[in-house]
Amino acid sequence: MQDSFIKAGVIGYPVKHSKSPLLHEHWITRHQKQGAYNAIEVPPEKLENMVQDLIDRGYAGFNITLPHKQTIMHLCTDIDDTARAVGAVNTVIIEDGRLYGRNTDVFGFLENIRAAHPDFAFTGIHALVLGAGGAARAVIYGLIDAGAKQITITNRTRAKADDIAASFADLAAQHDCRLSVLDWDDRDSGDAGAAPAETDLLVNTTSLGMTGKPSLSYDVNALPSSAMVCDIVYAPLYTDLLSDARARGLRITTGIGMLLHQAKPAFAAWFGVMPDVDDLLEQKILKA
């Protein structure tokens, strides 16, 4: 049974790095809610027992970070279409002792771009997605759902891009969206294919460019002057890709908003208020 003091948290292993407690505690204070949001370290072998403990302790739900985003699905009574298609649950709502699995990364990705560029329309666009990991699946699902007409995926390991394209083929066909795969070496070469030159939106979903990782080599001159460039890496906030795009006069979207916006539906489900993302929160999270 849940009491009036609302408990939520994030489970992971490790989990200390998570910015989610700071984010949700900010909104708990802002909305004067009686509640708490904790980081809970859950080793893989203890997942089932520790989740049962959260249920017994009356938790309203929890976020999930690595390495539990797939394994938690086995414990869920219900998984929504988005989480099923993306293949990962990052938010669980607990009701009557049952777990309801959701994926809010898709919402976070789309909402971030919409908030930064309210005039940007996804309908009919050509998107070029760099990367084919977990985050790419959420981005590609979001782009299909939002009405993209053509999505080109390119990844260092081409087989993973082929796998994603195959797994989203039916969904894309239902939405009249064409999926194709481009060799990683051709990602910014106008000669090798029409993809870069026709791109309305370029999204980096690789970990390249992140602090401590190798940099991403991408020639933004391959893109048309109308293109928007989005990097979901947010540390640093302005990656070399975004700095190059900005220097060329292209519109850009940083990655921090995806992290902030993806947390909103979870907070709303547990605490009953849809919170806002503002500059104060963004600065707080970036400084943490």
Question: Which residues of this chain interact with ligand NAP, rule CB under 6 A?
Answer: 105, 108, 131-136, 155-157, 160, 205-208, 210, 214, 232-234, 255, 258-259, 262
Active site residue 69: yes
CB of 119 to ligand NAP, least distance (A): 22
Which one, 37 or 109, has the nearer CB to ligand NAP? 109
CB of 154 to ligand NAP, least distance (A): 9
CB of 86 to ligand NAP, least distance (A): 11
Residue showing the smallest CB distance to ligand NAP in the complex = 133
DSSP assignment, residue 223?
S
For the purposes of burial, counting CB atoms within 10 Å of the CB of 77, is it exposed (0-12), middle (13-18) or buried (19 or more)? Answer: exposed
Kindly list the distances between the CA atom of residue 52 and the CA atoms of 57, 79, 147, 267, in Å, as whole numbers in the listed order: 9, 18, 39, 21
Tokens of 43: 């080793």
Which one, 35 or 142, has the nearer CB to ligand NAP? 142
CB of 31 to ligand NAP, least distance (A): 22
**Contact residues for 175 (Cβ-Cβ < 8 A; gap 6+):** 144, 145, 147
- φ/ψ of 26, rounded to 5, equals -60, -45
Look at residue 259 and give its three-state secondary structure.
helix
> Can you tell me the distance from the alpha carbon of 44 to that of 180, in angstroms, rounded to the nearest whole number?
36
From the list 7, 19, 33, 69, the catalytic residue is: 69
Helix ranges (H only) for the chain are 20-30, 47-56, 81-86, 105-116, 134-146, 158-167, 169-174, 240-247, 256-262, 264-271, 279-287
The answer to whether residues 197 and 123 touch, using CB atoms and an 8 Å cutoff, is no
Which one, 94 or 222, has the nearer CB to ligand NAP? 222
CB of 138 to ligand NAP, least distance (A): 7
Which one, 34 or 215, has the nearer CB to ligand NAP? 215
What are the residue numbers of the active site?
69
